[in-house]
Amino acid sequence: MIKQAIILAGANTPPAAELTESLISGGISFLLQDPDEASLVCGPSVHDGLVLLYEVRPRASVDALREVIALANTNWPGTPIIACCAGDKSSARECAAEAKTLKTLGFRAVADNPAQLPALLRQIEDQAATDDFQVPKESRNMVNGDTLTALPRALRGERLRKSFALLAALHLASDQKEAGRVALAGIAALVPADRWTIFLTTETGGAVSLTPLTCRRTDAAANLPFDGELQLELFDETHSTIAEASKATHEAAGRIEAIRKSESGRRLIALPLVNADRVLGVLEGIRERAGAQNFSRTEVSLLSSLAIPIAAALANSVRIADAERLSLTDDLTKLQNARYLRQFLVNEIKRARRYHSKVAALFLDLDDFKRINDLHGHLVGSHALMEMASVILPSVRDTDCVVRYGGDEFVVILPETGVDKAWRVADRIRAKIEQHRFSGGRRLDFSLSASFGIAVFPDHALSPQQLIACADTAMYEAKAAGKNCIRIISGDAASKNPDPSESLAVPSLFQRIPDEKLIS
């Protein structure tokens, strides 16, 4: 199964963002390899599930392409190399027209554009049972392999294994913090240093500042396997005391190139983390012990090859976090939605059971809201719901949860709150809604009111579903009582509402709030 790729690209000619994004979307880990330093990550035999990718630039010379094929044959014998056309549409068409020539040179297949890569790799994978991926003999040994500087075979294979372990772990990161921890755990296993730090770039007023994301101190004598003990490595406590970014790190961010130098007796390396032509951050390594050696050219090349997938993982983790946040957020009001409510309520009730505390639920429904839509249109009604969110939020604590449940219904969850306190919060929100003048986004001036139902765990309900059902039922009693008021569900009504499907209003089963407490 093809799940790993080595992109042959120099530091001065990084692959197009479309190519790396296509591999990420296809679930394929990738490593950047400078052809001039091919011995860093090459292995003497075929690596299962591995392919080589080479981005063919417009008007690439045949001699240069032959050198790439020869380099691949020398360092990754038997591994298929795929050509991917780069440039604009006309250049891509020109490249596609030369597909036969490229295959004659030794390329296993040709992708007209990066978007074709996942499907092309799957096609190659399907042919694997009958095709051993041997490169044509006539394309081998076109350059002298002695011109490549080879590392010891064992060291080379170990670095390759650890590099791909890092890339596979990066694909699982769900947020930037986790991606940063994974990256530093892998980097520490590959290149020794006393401290590794990832800084994120922030641009304000045209000036770029660097903020530490995560930091890892390592013991230079320790053996970091980064395989079976991966989980232990990732969940090690990171160090909260992080020094400011070095001059080399600022220089790397500004010049967008790897910087290797000495500062105040320390050996430093800083590599920009670039994705889609944007510098997301900088990877900084420091050797500060007495007699520490400079980072070697071999180490710089390896780190440069890892910087692109690390940057891609940081960018991808932001997209994942944004997608998750959007899935739990109401598009209109920007409050939490019903999906988030379920997660939040389950956690709070678990906590309440453990610590013998209470959780209150307020269910509120706007009174006669249909009239606003009928009189002024749905756009005004939608804006009024947005205004409603700004009225409710200041009336609750940061630890409380405010949810748009659907339509003109809202739910407020109050952890560690009993009946009396829940009633006071509900009445405060009710009064603010009644007093607020809504504009509907069109300089209108109208008022709204809401009916509230209250239920408390474990007084009225013993599960999250029953708690919401009881609060909903109490809200319907408030509607029946004339609207713009509050009702608390009784114990008897709660026992008859084990799930949301039985949330019908039964007036005689509810406690009535004394008239002097109601502000109608």
What is the DSSP pairing of strand 29-33 with strand 4-8?
parallel
d(CA 451, CA 475): 6
Sign of the torsion angle spanned by Cα atoms 415, 421, 426, 430: negative
d(CA 463, CA 471): 12
d(CA 159, CA 189): 9
Beginning with the edge strand found earlier in the chain, give each strand of the sheet holding 486-489 in spatial order: 401-406, 409-415, 359-366, 450-457, 486-489, 510-511
Residue 243, classed as helix, strand or coil, is coil
- Is 400 an active-site residue? no
Query: What string of DSSP letters covers 190-240?
Result: HS--SEEEEEEEEEETTEEEEEEEEEEE--TTS----STTHHHHHTSPPPS
Whether the link from the prior residue into 514 is cis, omega within 30° of 0, is no
Task: List residues bridging with 164 in a β-sheet.
Answer: none
Of 34, 408, 459, 472, which one is the catalytic site residue? Answer: 408
What angle is formed at CA 303 by the lines to CA 302 and CA 304, rounded to 5 degrees? Answer: 90
Contact 85, 91 (CB under 8 A): yes
Any idea which residues carry the catalytic annotation?
408
